[in-house]
Amino acid sequence: MAIQLLPEDLVARIAAGEVVERPSSVVKEMIENAIDAGARDIRVECVEGGRRLIRIADDGSGIRAEEAALAFAHHATSKLRSVDDLSRIVTLGFRGEALASIASVSQVTCATRHIDEETGALVRIDNGKIMTHERIGRPPGTTMTVEHLFAKVPARLKFLKSVQTERGHIDGIVTRYAMAYPHIRFTLTHDGRQSFQSLGNGNLRDVLLEVYGAPAVEKMIAVGDAAGADADQARDAATSIRVRGYAALPEYDHANRSKITLFVNGRPVQDAKLAYAVIQAYHTLLMTGRYPVAVIVVDVPPEDVDVNVHPAKAEVRFREAEAVFSAVQRAVRQALLAALPVPQPPSVFVDRRVELNVSPPAAGASPTASRSPAQSPLSGAETWERVGIARNAGPLAAPTADAAPSSSIPQPIQNRQLPALRILGQLAATYIIAEGPEGLYLIDQHAAHERILYERMLAARELGQTASQQLLDPVPVDVPADSARLLEAELEMLQGLGFHIDPFGGNTFLVRAVPAVMVQDDIAAALREIIADLEIGDAPLRRDLEARVLRRVCKRMAIKAGRVLTYPEMAALVRDLESCELPRTCPHGRPTMIQIGVSQLEREFGRIV
């Protein structure tokens, strides 16, 4: 399409605002233009963190000689024609604003040649004024050079940070586009020295190796399509949402969310809710306060996402936000659960004493009882081998030199399930002491019980079999006026969890039934805590809100620290924990147990050095 000025009515509908904030914004806009032009090789050169010079050379389609100056006019674009086009944008650019904005605050030299033309063009613009427009010879493609950014705009110049900081922003932009476009070769140099290069071979894992290094990538597993998963799993049939990428194993976590990298339809986006969906996928796998490391690429049909909400196009709005979030959460969760090994309990450690002394729990007998003692123990080596296969599965995970078996020494990954444990006693009326195949286990009775209750309640909820108990005397509870409105809006959700609560006029509510585990609880106090949880108001998914209420119920009802337990009580608790899906953390992400290996004890006692 030819470059044209956008009509007024269309200009009015485009998210307006400043796009050139710092050198990295220039790099971003120029890279997007190169990608839109079909480039396969994009070279970015910076001097002094981009303040003195930024040069971006691409091998894309180029600009027609007679349009080369027009490209620098405000609202001049070849990518958008009508208001209709706005609802399904397939290019990264569409506003026709970037070149004009950049050229108004710097000296720009554009050398370009369109693939269909014999000669190219050279345009020079000095802070908004066209100085040169002439014909030149050069290969097809475009080279944009931006010098002395903001030199004539002191107000903006003073907001720039150190060369080091600006470099960091540029690195972030280049590496992100390299991850989003693995089939394009990106090269970045700072002050004449190459600092990054991607291969451009289409393999995301290879890009990650360049960005994060081999030790980190070793800890990352393929998600969605990248995992070679069934097309049905990765692609949500109803909404055609596609999720792929890489997610780090829980052991390789990070102190904040900055290592969750997200792309939507080829755009790096900052989306708190989408990031939260990734965090949720690690639910109970990470300690509270720790965050996952992941690169997640989401593709949705262009008409299902609005990219015209932010001038720098860093935010998007989904038509079916919930569906996108749960697709992301599901894909990441699935990949994680598949990668964490599930060893069978070695039969030699099944403890006879536990079996003899403990009468099975009355209702819903623990599945541990049905374990076959004849099952052969799975050796450690076999377990690691299985992890290795899971981690290297999928077409994007071609083996690389760094992933070769010689260098991949098995890393201890937390086993998902527990072996059978032999109870030795209780410590400080708080911890259960037990012995297992890997040595000594100290189990936090409260955290363990929380985990057990939580998984039971979640399972019942999934099956729509939440056990609810009518109260003999309904309990009236007064709540503050704002909370009353909030509670009223959530009564249905709470009903699904076993609470039957009716508005009783004013700000009073009548609690008629509660989840069965709660009958003994102080109902009014419990309801106030639940309202406080609802008021946090940062959970974007309905299911997360439900889970939060369930966690509250479990926390209240779990055995407290400080309670002396009988031997059968401890044994029953540990057995129930053994049958949990994720026995090693409580629903809030804290560990339920500490494990001290025999070899560690031997070291501590100086038996081995």
| Residues at the interface with ligand ADP (CB under 6 A) | 3, 29, 33-34, 37, 58, 60-63, 71, 76-79, 93-100, 142
What stretches of 500-607 adopt beta strand conformation (E)? 500-503, 508-515, 593-596
- Of the pair 25, 78, the CB lying nearest ligand ADP is at 78
**Of all residues in this chain, which one has the CB nearest to Mg ion in the complex?**
93
Q: How far is the CB of 32 from ligand ADP (least distance, A)?
A: 6
Q: Are 467 and 460 in contact (CB under 8 A)?
A: yes
Residue 326 binding target from ligand ADP, Mg ion, none, CB below 5 to 8 Å by type:
none
Among 98, 264, 534, 550, binds Mg ion (CB under 5 A): 98
Q: Indicate if the alpha-carbon torsion angle 551, 552, 555, 556 is positive or negative.
A: negative
Residue range at the interface with Mg ion (CB under 5 A); choices 51-59, 90-98, 286-294, 363-371: 90-98
- Of the pair 77, 326, the CB lying nearest ligand ADP is at 77
Q: How far is the CB of 24 from ligand ADP (least distance, A)?
A: 15
- Of the pair 99, 293, the CB lying nearest Mg ion is at 99
Half-sphere exposure of 206 (CA within 13 A, CB side): 19
Q: Are 182 and 200 in contact (CB under 8 A)?
A: yes
Per-residue tokens: 459: 């399972």
Residue 460 binding target from ligand ADP, Mg ion, none, CB below 5 to 8 Å by type:
none
Buried b (16+ CB within 10 A) or exposed e, 157-181: eeebeebeebbebbbbbbbbbbbbb
CA distance 453 to 437: 26
The DSSP element (H or E) to which 44 belongs, if any, is: strand 41-47
Looking only at Cα atoms, what is the longest distance across the chain?
A: 94
Amino acid at 207: V
Residue 60 binding target from ligand ADP, Mg ion, none, CB below 5 to 8 Å by type:
ligand ADP
Residue 142 binding target from ligand ADP, Mg ion, none, CB below 5 to 8 Å by type:
ligand ADP
Q: How far is the CB of 111 from Mg ion (least distance, A)?
A: 17
Per-residue tokens: 519: 């009958």
Q: Are 242 and 230 in contact (CB under 8 A)?
A: no
Q: How far is the CB of 313 from Mg ion (least distance, A)?
A: 9
CA distance 260 to 562: 40
CA distance 59 to 37: 8
Residue range at the interface with Mg ion (CB under 5 A); choices 17-25, 87-95, 144-152, 410-418: 87-95
**Of all residues in this chain, which one has the CB nearest to ligand ADP in the complex?**
93
Q: How far is the CB of 80 from ligand ADP (least distance, A)?
A: 7
Q: How far is the CB of 92 from Mg ion (least distance, A)?
A: 7
**From its phi and psi, is residue 606 left (phi > 0), alpha (psi between -120 and 50) or beta?**
left
User: Judged by CB under 5 A, does residue 243 bind Mg ion?
Assistant: no
- Of the pair 18, 478, the CB lying nearest ligand ADP is at 18
Residues paired with 295 in a beta bridge: 246, 261
Q: How far is the CB of 55 from Mg ion (least distance, A)?
A: 17
- Of the pair 26, 571, the CB lying nearest Mg ion is at 26
Residue 79 binding target from ligand ADP, Mg ion, none, CB below 5 to 8 Å by type:
ligand ADP
Burial degree of 355 (CB within 10 A; 0-12, 13-18, 19+): middle
Residue range at the interface with Mg ion (CB under 5 A); choices 26-34, 121-129, 465-473, 487-495: 26-34
What letter does residue 7 receive in the DSSP assignment?
A: P
Q: How far is the CB of 91 from ligand ADP (least distance, A)?
A: 7
For the CA atoms of 518, 521, 585, 423, the dihedral, rounded to the nearest 10 degrees, stands at -90
- Of the pair 93, 583, the CB lying nearest Mg ion is at 93
Residue 54 binding target from ligand ADP, Mg ion, none, CB below 5 to 8 Å by type:
none
CA distance 527 to 546: 14
- Of the pair 100, 558, the CB lying nearest ligand ADP is at 100
In the sheet that holds 508-515, the strands lie side by side as: 468-478, 508-515, 500-503
User: Judged by CB under 5 A, does residue 33 bind Mg ion?
Assistant: yes
Q: How far is the CB of 14 from Mg ion (least distance, A)?
A: 12
Among 49, 93, 498, 587, binds Mg ion (CB under 5 A): 93
Residue range at the interface with Mg ion (CB under 5 A); choices 89-97, 225-233, 400-408, 484-492: 89-97
Residue 271 binding target from Mg ion, ligand ADP, none, CB below 5 to 8 Å by type:
none
The DSSP element (H or E) to which 469 belongs, if any, is: strand 468-478
Residues forming contacts to Mg ion in the complex (CB under 5 A) are 33, 93, 98
